[in-house]
Chains A and B, each alone.
Chain A
């Protein structure tokens, strides 16, 4: 038994040491609020890819697993570890404002990604605007339908800001046209839920022109439901996020009519970090440009949305 314990401990140590290789110069701490979402996995991947081109920086990733307290502990840990810069994609504004502000006041530059914090104690905010993207999607869809049609809206978690913004922006976008939302349901960002809700919409409404889902998996779930009902040809599907292996793939396969990119800002974060570490002044606010991917422009890398 004791031999077992010992060998297990040695094994565990080997695992741990292989996970943390050594090679410093600049160390950047990156705290991600939740790696359960593919979009955030993509954000980390973007940061990692961008950082790989620069051997002088090393990025230390932490996953807060959707827990505010764990994330604020991450910030403290980074400060104690003496990192040169912190990138944080916060879960919520209020609980993380103080730890981020403390780090900033100690002279560590902080780049806040995607979600804002309260106050001004950070170096740079990088994010996209959900409301703008939703509005652009609404306009684009109204034009696609020729100004009139029936729409099913599959919403993200309606207690979250992105869900609310993507919904209200969309409604603003289709305002003035004769497009009508005939069915709406909260699918909580999840594909199986989207499929369930779409099935209900399909059995209630014989004529649906378009499905607008707040993320690409939701649009894909709706597509699967329509396909099972043999009605995928009579309607169009539009999603948001535009991740390479989700939305963009669906567009390429002809499943989605369009996917609106919600950029992760990972690459921009590393670029900004290099500027700051290099002693240059960085912009305080960076609003990320969004793109729309359609079957026609997907191979050309999409089309930028008007700002």
Chain B
């Protein structure tokens, strides 16, 4: 394996230019980070390397010879593996079957050799997630566990070049740490790493050199020693950013808007009680699998088996449907925007107005003018960039997609918001604007329950932080007093 050289690579998707004559060189054996806001083109560049996309113009040279990969297997044969941001796996197959998909060991060329398969897949998982039983079904795993399996699958191809596309976007801190150790180990073995991310700390921890893309163009390449927070952020978004720790809001609790009493769900949640007042941001911390999302779903009426009471702005909601709870003033931004947040093939308009039937209805019919007015107002407020409101949501970048999920709930004028990982997998610029929106919501008198795996985000935004472990509340800390260490200790039960 040798140096990778992108020469004036151009890639268009329909009318939008994802990459515009990008030239850059990745040296053999280094860890090269590709940074940029969502939609900057960094993932596209990685996907061209891995054979998922074909460039419309320019050439890709590896070790001095010209390469065009038409498919993933071709790229894989050339020693290039990729860990995707999107979770691509077959939910009804076991871990082992997923790991060895495409090269399942066979006996007599026909029958699956289960013993060899189990052994091989255990080897693959060994360095990454040894605690997982390879016979478990993929759908029984958490998002983070699935991501780990995928990393194991990519590494298992014995690739000389590995592309990681936002690998930590759904990992909790501990699992991220484990991933970094794996990457460090891979580098020692001489593997070239292309690391696509917008998270500054991990890039600083891992990368030898950093290339920044903005709007499909290369802004520049820095070595690790040249790069600082400020420089990179300015390169990525073209302006300086407020430090996360400056984000803090005082103001005590006032009127109670959200009151939860004895919320339980068999096997998932044990007697949870909490309250949140107008203007208050309550953070929920916990490791992956602690039951944070399950709690949110139960509060929103999506878990039929749950018991206990949830009172929203004075309305007791037990027995109410989701829509009933929405009418009472509750909004829920789910963690997985592709599965739960959006219907990707539907237009932005239809996704946006799904939550506000009563606002866009005149008599029996749709009021298109009012709908467009609302949509324009909210899209402008959140800075959502679309080619047209009638373009499918799938044509947008991750950050813009997440903003549409936010927009469709903001348009409801809810009093209580549950935000589940609102900034997962989106870029620094979008993240900071979403943080601003959360603070403004609270300032305007909403009660907010913020579920996040990013401790700085929780610490920066929350007035109080409740820590969850195994379906129970195990502690509560004042937002000003909490530290990452104290939270971590409570989360992991040490």
* Chain A directly contacts chain B within the complex, with at least one CB pair under 8 Å: no
Give A residues with C-beta under 8 Å from B.
none
Give B residues with C-beta under 8 Å from A.
none
